[in-house]
């Protein structure tokens, strides 16, 4: 098991990209496809949906040590993936 975990660690170290978001910066906009998982190291990220009147409705708030992604968008890619 430890060899397996070491391989996962090597894989994830190569794939990790650090990104700093400014306050109110949009990580994934409406209509965009979610292609990555985001881990909150500091601060918080919220997911919202804007209604017809232009008001934001909070869907989810993610704080430090939480994973963030659009589940429907991210997992739907698996159905269409072909080698």
15-64 pLDDT per residue, tens: 778 889 999 899 888 888 888 888 898 999 998 888 999 999 998 899 99
pTM of whole model > 0.75? no
Give residue 4's pLDDT band: very low, low, confident or very high (50, 70, 90).
low
> In 1-83, at which residue ranges do the beta strands (DSSP E only) sit?
38-39, 44-50, 56-63, 67-68
Task: Report whether pLDDT(7) > 80.
Answer: no
3-state secondary structure of 13: helix
* Residue 53 DSSP label: T
């Amino acid at each position: 098991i430890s060899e397996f975990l070491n391989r996962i660690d090597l894989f994830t170290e190569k794939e990790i990209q650090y990104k700093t978001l400014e306050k109110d910066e949009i990580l994934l906009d409406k209509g965009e496809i979610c292609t990555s998982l985001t881990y909150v190291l500091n601060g918080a990220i919220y997911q919202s949906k804007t209604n017809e009147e232009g008001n934001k409705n909070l869907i989810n708030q993610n704080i430090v040590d939480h994973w963030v992604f659009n589940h429907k968008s991210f997992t739907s890619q698996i159905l269409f993936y072909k080698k």
